[in-house]
Amino acid sequence: QSLFNNVPLAPVDPILGVSNAYKQCTAAKKVDISVGAYRDENGKPYVLKCVFEAEKRLLGAPKEYLPIDGIPEFNKVSAKLLYGDAMNGKEKNMVTVQTLSGTGAVRIGIIFVRKYLPAGTTVYISNPSWANHHNICKESGVPSAQYTYYDPKTRGLNFEGMIADMKAAPNGSVFVLHLCAHNPTGVDPTKEQWNVIADVMKSKNHIPFVDCAYQGYASGDLDNDAYSARLFLSRGFEMFSAQSYSKNFGLYGERAGALTIVSHNEKNIPLILSQVKMDIRAMYSSPPTHGARIVATVLQDPELTKLWIDELKGMSNRIKYVRQKLLDALVARNVPGTWNHIVDQIGMFTYTGLNPKQVEVLVQKYNIYLLASGRVSLAGLNDHNIDYVADAIKDAVT
């Protein structure tokens, strides 16, 4: 007998579960295209040179507790990185706190939504989205719903459906929007479409909650990728943003991120900060030092920043190269269907359109691990395995 006999088994995380299955697979030939973490052209994890250089400078840095809201310089450079020139004097209307990476930023922000937005405010999440958005809302006790996003027929954006759902949602709803490089579809609105989205959101008093996990990864250009967040800020929205440095700095396990809340009323800022700090204090007291110090070191040093931008371009260019190679390999094999969406989509992923049965063939017969939804993390592909994957896709599809 045990007190815990009634604890049910929780479902396996759809992403981490596949990645673990890959690790346990003992086959000589296997491919991991499941988890969204960058790999170099030899399939190896990659520590950025700018990070390595910053770490050299940080050797021996004190291990004291950080303030509850993190390193002030880190918070400052984070807000600047995302909002750039759109800040334009709005610093006084913003509060930025260091968080446990992007997930922590979303979590703290969603708790704030539950506590300080009108009761029952619903958080709208794109269909599909990073599955953790749903977990976070559920665990935070916040009602959530989905808005139309992806069109399986075109393998692109269902813009009309998205706008219709925004119009139909109760005024003052929160919309979680992916800054760029939408996960899992790789489908982003155009700049013109973002402007229409902003118009509709304004007319409905909706609140943007911009999840920024891939700034710099989509186009290789930090400013271009930040377009939507800067648009919302310059259009005068009260809004949230959650930044992650996992992908663009390769700091996955260091848990470096930032939450920013923007208010029309400057007087609210210290009050908002006080509440956010109270939540952080009760949850994990204060954030970790190392990753945020690395980011602050790089972003405060023009030379290291230049090195970072070059490396970021290098990573995003490799992903673009792999997209084209995969498309070429499928076309060369006359694989039935259209595959252009692989190069039309953007960021770390392609939503292939492979169905769960076809995915099953890839996993069971070829030890190629990807999500059941057909999402492929392109970072796991390289010149050594693309032909193998293309052969396997041909077999699965025909």
Residues that bind ligand PLP (CB under 6 A): 36, 101-103, 130, 178, 183, 211, 213, 244, 246, 257
Instruction: For residue 247, indicate whether it is catalytic.
Output: yes
In the complex, least distance from residue 229 CB atom to ligand PLP, rounded to whole angstroms? 14
In the complex, least distance from residue 60 CB atom to ligand PLP, rounded to whole angstroms? 27
Sequence-ordered list of residues with C-beta below 8 angstroms from that of 357, at least 6 positions apart, any chain: none
In the complex, least distance from residue 297 CB atom to ligand PLP, rounded to whole angstroms? 19
Q: Exactly one of 32, 69, 188, 211 is catalytic; which is it?
A: 211
Return the HEC string of 90-126.
HHHHEEEEEEEHHHHHHHHHHHHHHHHCCCCCCEEEE
> With left for phi above 0 and alpha for psi between -120 and 50, is residue 236 left, alpha or beta?
left
Please give the helix or strand (H or E) that residue 287 lies within, else none: none
Question: What's the alpha-carbon Rg for the chain, to the nearest Å?
Answer: 21
Instruction: For residue 339, indicate whether it is catalytic.
Output: no
Instruction: For residue 194, indicate whether it is catalytic.
Output: no
Pair 316, 220: CB distance under 8 Å: yes
Pair 210, 175: CB distance under 8 Å: no
Tokens 């260019």: give the residue.
317
Residue closer to ligand PLP by CB (options 244, 345) is 244
Residue closer to ligand PLP by CB (options 293, 325) is 293
Q: Exactly one of 130, 194, 308, 339 is catalytic; which is it?
A: 130
DSSP 10: P
In the complex, least distance from residue 214 CB atom to ligand PLP, rounded to whole angstroms? 7
In the complex, least distance from residue 154 CB atom to ligand PLP, rounded to whole angstroms? 22
Residue closer to ligand PLP by CB (options 140, 246) is 246
Residue closer to ligand PLP by CB (options 101, 367) is 101
Sign for the CA dihedral angle at 225, 316, 39, 305 comes to negative
Q: Exactly one of 247, 308, 325, 339 is catalytic; which is it?
A: 247
The number of beta carbons lying within 10 Å of the beta carbon of residue 306 is 12
Residue closer to ligand PLP by CB (options 96, 101) is 101
Active site residues: 130, 211, 247
